[in-house]
């Protein structure tokens, strides 16, 4: 459907990692197109450093030399051509929202050297008269909590959907070697700031016992327009390796190659491939295994291997709830494809696949924008920042913003439950399956295959109240002290990783973003107490010493929540603005003119996550809204009472030429450009 927005290098929608920072990530295989673009950008940045050093030696000061300007026009343009290698397209701005392009900046980057060195890179550098606190100190003194209280309104499914849909919008890879001929530092073995390593210091570096957690910087990518903004062209920009659009690339992949690998092309049925080795107890399919074996997923100490599952996003194995959601959507695609095939037996496999994909993409958009986002930012913010749909706006840039990907949408990290409960058919403790500590759920698809399928996990996240956001209890010890990152031997700290990533990306501070959103700047301790509460304000003031030094992720996280929301004013603003442009700048949005008939739109609106669970699992009773927490059985309803989409709206009579009107439209709309 949306492939014409996705370059092969790539105008193709969707996902990649910032290893440790994207929750429980590990070193994932980088797509060849992404690697090529990243290496071009790294060469560009490396050459800039050389030129800057020579200019400093010659002029005894930092200047933008004629040589550097010439490089921007020559070598820099070579970097840009890696991004702009594309075929003709009907779109006015074909790179907006495309994969392997830079995360957009809503405010200018703040590098210590103006170009590429993150905040905190130069030891002893003062910011507003003070050194920035170490992320590890911020985590230890402000973030860490051994207990979390529950939110009686929402279920844990709200948290899990946030991670799932985030993986449909952003994926920032780690820095790659700029060239096979240049040395590349191993970031797991150094505590020095040597590109691409920006280790998280965990002790006083002046002492003999130096200690750190490994951290690799996000990869660089070329700025798209070298002539319009010379400052941004010179600066290090971070990549979104997947398409920004909410287009279900998390199911289908963001490149033609990934898409082909995930499809059941030999079945001639428009379906996705399924696992050939295992099925659930009722014969329902699991995701296929990854192609490269043996995979790095963890294994059951007893019994045969269960490899990592393969899905449209490479992070599908990070946690059991996430894997379960991926499994649900695989089954839903194949269920709808089978129904359309029976209904329209004159449709080709390609038309069945594409029309099913169109429906699945629409359901992702509806569930997210109608059922999820208003609960996160609150009804007032939803009305203010998003409001009713007014049609596609070609002047709106739908690209994911750096602050959204790196800070605002990571608000959910404070709502991660330290325990995964697995429940039985009565939504009670399972007789055979114990609850799992979070660190025992990472990269463990074997638990789904050998421990009852996805049903106990889905019942657990539906039947468990979400963790509440509280400034006095921010992060569970499971994420600050026991975070598992494959390929790294030691346990990691998610709070420190998030703070370090924000500095790596040169995000402006909390106060600048409050001003961006039209909110009052925090100038005094009393101001801070007004927006975040007394106890945490005093901690922040003691650690940061100046309000302008507060990291945006921390500041946004501790704000007092808006009524009916899970975020404070700042993150409600940033998430709301991002969701607005993702919708209004997407010419394939489900409500856009020509996407669906009026009858089809009416049927799509009946879709819900609860209905998808009913249609693809053994669950026979569910909450009407799976994001709302209720007690079993009083707040649950039979699947018979959950609205069902009538796919008859997609029935099409065979035309004389053998290809119906709808089929012809599909062939046109879904051609790769």
Positions marked catalytic: 167
3-state secondary structure of 643: coil
Query: Is residue 477 within 8 Å of 451, Cβ to Cβ?
Result: no
What dihedral do alpha carbons 576, 231, 82, 70 form, nearest 10°?
A: 170
What does the alpha-carbon distance between residue 425 and residue 281 come to, in Å, rounded to a whole number?
15
Look at residues 494, 441, 466 and name the one whose alpha carbon lies nearest to residue 317: 441
Q: How many angstroms separate the most distant Cα atoms in the chain?
A: 83
What does the alpha-carbon distance between residue 550 and residue 554 come to, in Å, rounded to a whole number?
7
What dihedral do alpha carbons 80, 84, 85, 89 form, nearest 10°?
A: -170
Q: How far is CA 58 from the centre of its chain?
A: 44
Q: Which two tokens stand for residue 280?
A: 């659930």
CA angle 594, 272, 458 (to 5 degrees): 95
Write down how long the chain is: 673
Put residue 570 in one of left, alpha, beta given phi > 0 → left and psi -120 to 50 → alpha.
alpha
What are phi and psi for residue 458, nearest 5 degrees? -65, -40
What is the DSSP pairing of strand 144-145 with strand 101-102? unpaired
Q: Which two tokens stand for residue 43?
A: 């060469």
Q: Which two tokens stand for residue 357?
A: 């994909």
Put residue 424 in one of left, alpha, beta given phi > 0 → left and psi -120 to 50 → alpha.
beta
Query: Is residue 140 within 8 Å of 4, Cβ to Cβ?
Result: no
Does 430 show up as a binding residue in the annotation?
no
Query: Is residue 175 within 8 Å of 195, Cβ to Cβ?
Result: yes
Number of Cβ within a 10 Å radius of residue 668: 8
What does the alpha-carbon distance between residue 558 and residue 319 come to, in Å, rounded to a whole number?
26
Put residue 497 in one of left, alpha, beta given phi > 0 → left and psi -120 to 50 → alpha.
alpha
Number of Cβ within a 10 Å radius of residue 649: 15
Query: Is residue 215 within 8 Å of 148, Cβ to Cβ?
Result: no
CA-to-CA separations, 30 to 16, 187, 219, 267, 527, in angstroms, rounded: 8, 18, 11, 29, 45
Query: Is residue 334 within 8 Å of 271, Cβ to Cβ?
Result: yes
Binding-site members for heme b are 413
Binding-site members are 413
């Amino acid at each position: 459907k949306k492939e014409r927005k996705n370059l092969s290098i790539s105008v193709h929608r969707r996902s990649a990692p910032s290893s440790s920072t994207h929750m429980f990530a590990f070193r994932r295989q980088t797509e060849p197109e992404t690697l090529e673009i990243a290496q071009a950008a790294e060469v560009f940045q490396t050459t800039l450093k050389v030129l800057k050093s020579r200019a400093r030696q010659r002029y005894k000061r930092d200047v933008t030399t004629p040589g550097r300007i010439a490089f921007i026009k020559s070598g820099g343009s070579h970097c840009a051509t890696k991004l702009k290698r594309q075929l003709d397209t009907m779109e006015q701005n074909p790179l907006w929202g495309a994969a392997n392009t830079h995360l957009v900046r809503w405010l200018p980057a703040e590098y210590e050297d103006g170009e590429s060195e993150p905040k905190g890179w130069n030891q002893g550098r003062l910011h507003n008269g003070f050194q920035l606190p170490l992320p590890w100190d911020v985590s230890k003194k402000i973030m860490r909590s051994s207990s979390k209280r529950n939110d009686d309104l929402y279920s844990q499914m709200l948290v899990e959907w946030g991670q799932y849909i985030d993986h449909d919008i952003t994926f920032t890879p780690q820095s790659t070697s700029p060239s096979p001929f240049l040395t590349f530092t191993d970031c797991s073995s150094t505590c020095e700031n040597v590109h691409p390593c920006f280790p998280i210091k965990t002790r006083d570096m002046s002492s003999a016992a130096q200690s750190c957690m490994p951290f690799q910087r996000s990869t660089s990518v070329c700025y798209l327009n070298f002539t319009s903004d010379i400052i941004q062209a010179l600066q290090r920009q971070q990549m979104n390796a997947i398409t920004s659009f909410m287009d279900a690339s998390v199911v289908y992949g963001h490149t033609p190659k990934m898409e082909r690998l995930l499809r059941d092309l030999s079945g001639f049925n428009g379906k996705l491939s399924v696992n050939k080795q295992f099925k659930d107890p009722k014969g329902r399919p699991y995701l296929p295994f990854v192609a490269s074996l043996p995979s790095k997923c963890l294994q059951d100490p007893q019994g045969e291997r269960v490899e990592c599952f393969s899905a449209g996003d490479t992070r599908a194995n990070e946690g059991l709830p996430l894997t379960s959601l991926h499994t649900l959507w695989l089954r839903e695609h194949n269920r709808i494809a089978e129904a359309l095939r029976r209904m329209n037996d004159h449709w080709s496999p390609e038309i069945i696949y594409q029309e099913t994909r169109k429906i699945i993409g629409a359901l992702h958009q509806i569930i997210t924008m109608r059922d999820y986002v208003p609960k996160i930012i609150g009804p007032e913010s939803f009305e203010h920042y998003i409001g009713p749909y007014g049609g596609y706006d070609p002047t709106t840039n739908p690209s994911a913003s750096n602050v959204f990907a790196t800070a605002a949408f990571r608000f959910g990290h404070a709502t991660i439950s330290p325990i995964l409960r697995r429940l039985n058919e009565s939504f009670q403790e399972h007789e055979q399956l114990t609850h799992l500590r979070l660190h025992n759920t990472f990269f463990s698809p074997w638990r789904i295959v050998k421990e009852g399928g996805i049903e106990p996990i889905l019942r657990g996240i539906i039947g468990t109240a979400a963790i509440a956001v509280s400034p006095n209890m921010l992060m569970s010890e499971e994420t600050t002290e026991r975070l598992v990152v494959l390929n790294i031997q030691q346990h990691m700290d998610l709070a420190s990783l998030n703070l370090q990533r924000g500095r790596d990306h040169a995000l402006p501070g909390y106060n600048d973003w409050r001003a961006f959103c039209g909110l009052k700047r925090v100038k005094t301790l009393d101001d801070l107490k007004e927006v975040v509460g007394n106890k945490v304000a005093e901690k922040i003031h003691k650690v940061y010493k100046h309000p302008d030094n507060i990291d945006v992720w921390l500041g946004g996280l501790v704000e007092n929540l808006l009524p009916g929301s899970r975020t404070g004013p700042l993150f409600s603003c940033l998430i709301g603005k991002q969701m607005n442009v993702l919708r209004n700048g997407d010419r394939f949005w489900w409500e856009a003119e020509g996407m669906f008939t009026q009858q089809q739109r009416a049927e799509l609106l009946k879709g819900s996550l609860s209905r998808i669970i009913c249609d693809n699992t053994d669950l026979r009773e569910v909450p009407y809204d799976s994001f709302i927490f209720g007690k079993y059985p009083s707040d649950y309803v039979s699947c018979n009472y959950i609205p069902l989409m009538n796919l008859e709206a997609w029935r099409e009579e065979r035309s004389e030429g053998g290809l119906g009107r709808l089929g012809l439209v599909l062939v046109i709309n879904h051609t790769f450009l």
